[in-house]
């Protein structure tokens, strides 16, 4: 369900969010240019005072793969109350309205919290995420084309690849057709590198830190192996860190370690009882 059509309410909501996260309104505008409209994707639960939005809980309906099964979960995001009006129950009111809306529709709600204590009182429990680390032989990086976030043709190309991708993992992955990935990319500053590898028909979302390849996502209709990817990422690379479940990356020697990302995954409702280490790609978070 989209934002209300009223331009005043939309502007007031985005002003509240911008007061809390200063870069958010420009990221929302950027994502819209790329074809992903926050106001169409998010359902806002708000508290208003004299027509001004002073508290907000947003809900995204996110198609995912969980334990091999496609389903849709509710992603709670952008939880905030105006700085001068905190401690008066405004967020609680919005959250309770959001959760009763969610409970009528979905078995599972997820969020990423930098302060998990806020959410345990609403039935969310922390779910550990991992990174997956191991040796890989790098190879010359002349077979890739970097995509520029400020080049509309490159971003159109990326949106096309996102629309035709397969989930990055069969265990835990977003499967949103691209809108969430584009919103996450717009919010990610300065953001990762994006490179098209024609030989593998994939876009790799990554950073290189000397000999380390930080692999955030692989956008492809058919997943290449980690060895094939690493062979295009630079001869100095000898270690990969995958920030998503690497089960679709072919044979690899990646081993789970605790994630280094700060925000904690929290889950409310049904969740697979699979004890294996997991991680959502940074482009599948909300
Ligand atoms: C976190 C935030 C949304 C709380 O809003 P609020 O309107 O002050 O919250 P409420 O008054 O409705 O509090 C609801 C409950 O949450 C608790 N709570 C609020 N902030 C909390 C915090 N930082 N840590 C732990 N508990 C918190 C309150 O004690 C209250 O508990 P109770 O109802 O069980 O007694 C607000 O402080 C904020 O906007 N912070 C900046 C943005 C932010 O950090 N968002 C969360 C991102 S993970």
Residue 250 to residue 202: CA distance in whole angstroms? 15
Q: Do 172 and 57 fall into the same domain?
A: no
Q: Do 185 and 78 fall into the same domain?
A: no
Q: Do 91 and 209 fall into the same domain?
A: no
For range 75-80, the mean pLDDT: 98
Residue 98 Cβ inside 6 Å of ligand 1? The answer reads no
Q: Do 73 and 143 fall into the same domain?
A: no
Q: Do 170 and 220 fall into the same domain?
A: yes
Residue 88 Cβ inside 6 Å of ligand 1? The answer reads yes
Q: Which domain holds residue 209?
A: 131-258
What distance in angstroms lies between residue 103's CA and the mean position of ligand 1's atoms? 21
**What is the domain-level CATH number for residue 115?**
3.40.630.30
Percent residues over pLDDT 90 in the chain: 95
Q: How many CA atoms lie within 13 A of 153 on its CB side?
A: 1
Residue 1 lies in a domain: no
**What is the domain-level CATH number for residue 175?**
3.40.630
* Atom from ligand 1 closest to the CA of residue 83: 39
Pick from 130, 112, 133: nearest CA to 259:
130
Residue 78 Cβ inside 6 Å of ligand 1? The answer reads no
Per-residue pLDDT of 185-234, as tens digits, reads 999 999 999 999 999 999 999 999 999 999 999 999 999 999 999 999 99
Q: Do 62 and 166 fall into the same domain?
A: no
Residue 53 lies in a domain: yes
Task: Report the nearest-CA residue for atom 23 of ligand 1.
Answer: 118
Q: Do 173 and 207 fall into the same domain?
A: yes
Per-residue pLDDT of 223-238, as tens digits, reads 999 999 999 999 999 9
What is the 8-class DSSP label of residue 284? G
Number of domains into which the chain is organized: 2
Q: What is the mean pLDDT of the chain?
A: 97
Residue 248 to residue 189: CA distance in whole angstroms? 28
* Atom from ligand 1 closest to the CA of residue 112: 48
For range 151-172, the mean pLDDT: 98
Residue 193 to residue 216: CA distance in whole angstroms? 10
Q: Do 85 and 169 fall into the same domain?
A: no
* pLDDT at residue 189, as a whole number: 94
């Amino acid at each position: 369900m989209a934002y209300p059509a009223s331009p005043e309410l939309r502007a007031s909501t985005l002003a509240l969010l911008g007061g809390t996260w200063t870069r958010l309104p420009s990221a929302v505008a950027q994502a819209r240019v790329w074809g992903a409209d926050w106001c169409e994707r998010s359902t806002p639960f708000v508290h208003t005072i004299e027509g001004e939005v002073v508290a907000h809980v947003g809900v995204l309906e996110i198609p995912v793969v969980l334990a091999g099964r496609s389903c849709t979960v509710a992603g709670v995001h952008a939880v905030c109350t105006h700085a001068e009006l905190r401690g008066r129950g405004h967020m609680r009111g919005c959250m309770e309205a959001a959760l009763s809306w969610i409970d009528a529709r979905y078995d599972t709600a997820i969020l990423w919290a930098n302060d998990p204590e806020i959410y345990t009182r609403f039935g969310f429990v922390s779910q550990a995420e991992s990174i997956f680390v191991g040796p890989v032989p790098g190879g010359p990086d002349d077979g890739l084309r970097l995509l520029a976030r400020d080049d509309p043709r490159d971003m159109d190309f990326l949106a096309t690849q996102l629309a035709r991708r397969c989930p990055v993992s069969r265990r835990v992955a977003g499967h949103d057709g691209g809108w969430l990935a584009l919103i996450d990319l717009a919010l990610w500053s300065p953001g990762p590198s994006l490179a098209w590898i024609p030989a593998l028909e994939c876009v790799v979302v990554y950073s290189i830190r000397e000999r380390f390849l930080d692999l955030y996502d692989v956008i492809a209709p058919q997943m290449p192996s980690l060895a094939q990817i690493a062979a295009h990422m630079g001869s100095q690379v000898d270690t990969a860190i995958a920030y998503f479940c690497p089960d679709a990356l072919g044979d690899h020697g990646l081993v789970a370690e605790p994630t280094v990302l700060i925000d904690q995954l929290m889950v409310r409702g049904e969740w697979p009882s699979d004890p294996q280490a997991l991680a959502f790609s940074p482009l599948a978070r909300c």
